[in-house]
Amino acid sequence: MATLPDGKYRPLFRGEKDAKEIAIASFQLDERPVTNGEFLGFVRENPKWQRSQVKRLFADERYLAHWAGDGDLGKADPAQPVTQVSWFAAKAFAAWSGKRLPSTAEWEFAAGAGFTNPDGTKEPEFQQAIAKWYGTPTPDVLPAAGSGKPNVHGLRDLHGLVWEWTSDFNSAIVTGDARGDTGLERNLFCGAGSLGAKDTGNFPAFMRFGMRSSLKAGYTVHNLGFRCAKDIPSK
């Protein structure tokens, strides 16, 4: 795992009275997303997370549908990031590994770092590289996890491989029908949406925000995986 320093994350959307920045305490994050091979080890030890055993409450019908069977990857490459996993399954894997899922703030903080500069917004080469990925469809065959270029913290594939679950993916206050929600971010929808946003140029961040707010915890998606985080042991 890579260790990230203390830092600050500027949320994409915030209420008028909210602080502009959220403090992030130093934490550890997996250098790459969890792979099919690693997830296979998990379901072998935890049969209730096998494809045929999982309860519908915790994962939809497409859970691990690209594997050949409960304990058989079939054509899925063990080195590829695991996808078609629900939030519950990702959370259970993380707990089994003695880790946890990163919060959205932690994930975005990590993903905001460039190849050479901890603030990726100051690095045009990094900005171009991620814009390119967000404009490219997911390939039929995913590359191996960890094959991307590392950022300044040594983290790979935060952009350019798969979307990733976060522990509080359901903290975005929007729904298909925004009347159902109360509070700060009700202006998200329609043309006025970006007025409350701090950085209207950060299109990939909007895409991630939209992606997360469209998810439900049991959903499994062909290009959505996860990586784990861990607190720094207190001294």
Partner 1 sequence: MKTTIIALLLGAASVFAAEPAKPAAELPPCCRPAVPLGKPTDKSLYLLDSKWTSDVGKTIPLSVLRGRPQVVAMFFSSCEYACPIIVNDMRTLEAKLPANVRAKTDFLLVSFDTKRDTVAALAAYRKKEKIPTANWTLLRGGEDDVRELAALLGINYSQDARGQFAHSNVITVLNAEGEIAFQQPGLNAAPTALVDAVAKAAKDAKR
Residue numbers at the binding site for partner 1 (CB under 8 A):
15, 17-19, 55-58, 87-88, 91, 167-175, 177, 179-185, 213, 216-217
Nearer to partner 1, 137 or 183 (CB): 183
Least distance in angstroms from the C-beta of 24 to partner 1: 16
Which of 38-75 are b and which e, b meaning 16 or more Cβ less than 10 Å from the residue's Cβ?
bbbebbeeeeebbbeebeeebbbebbbebbeebeebee
Nearer to partner 1, 86 or 202 (CB): 86
Nearer to partner 1, 44 or 48 (CB): 48
Least distance in angstroms from the C-beta of 91 to partner 1: 8
Least distance in angstroms from the C-beta of 197 to partner 1: 15
Least distance in angstroms from the C-beta of 217 to partner 1: 4
Q: Residue 180, Cβ neighbours under 10 Å: how many?
A: 9
Nearer to partner 1, 78 or 193 (CB): 193
Least distance in angstroms from the C-beta of 83 to partner 1: 19
Please check whether residue 212 is in contact with residue 223, taking contact to mean a CB–CB distance below 8 angstroms. no
- As to burial, measured by CB atoms within 10 angstroms (0-12 exposed, 13-18 middle, 19+ buried), residue 181 is middle
Nearer to partner 1, 140 or 177 (CB): 177
Q: Which two tokens stand for residue 84?
A: 């078609």
Strand partners, 27: 4, 231
Nearer to partner 1, 22 or 161 (CB): 22
Please check whether residue 68 is in contact with residue 22, taking contact to mean a CB–CB distance below 8 angstroms. no
Least distance in angstroms from the C-beta of 174 to partner 1: 7
Instruction: Give the span between the Cα atoms of 120 and 67, in whole angstroms.
Output: 36
Least distance in angstroms from the C-beta of 21 to partner 1: 11
Residues in the chain: 235
Q: Which two tokens stand for residue 170?
A: 């359901």
Please check whether residue 212 is in contact with residue 57, taking contact to mean a CB–CB distance below 8 angstroms. no
- As to burial, measured by CB atoms within 10 angstroms (0-12 exposed, 13-18 middle, 19+ buried), residue 191 is exposed
Nearer to partner 1, 42 or 87 (CB): 87
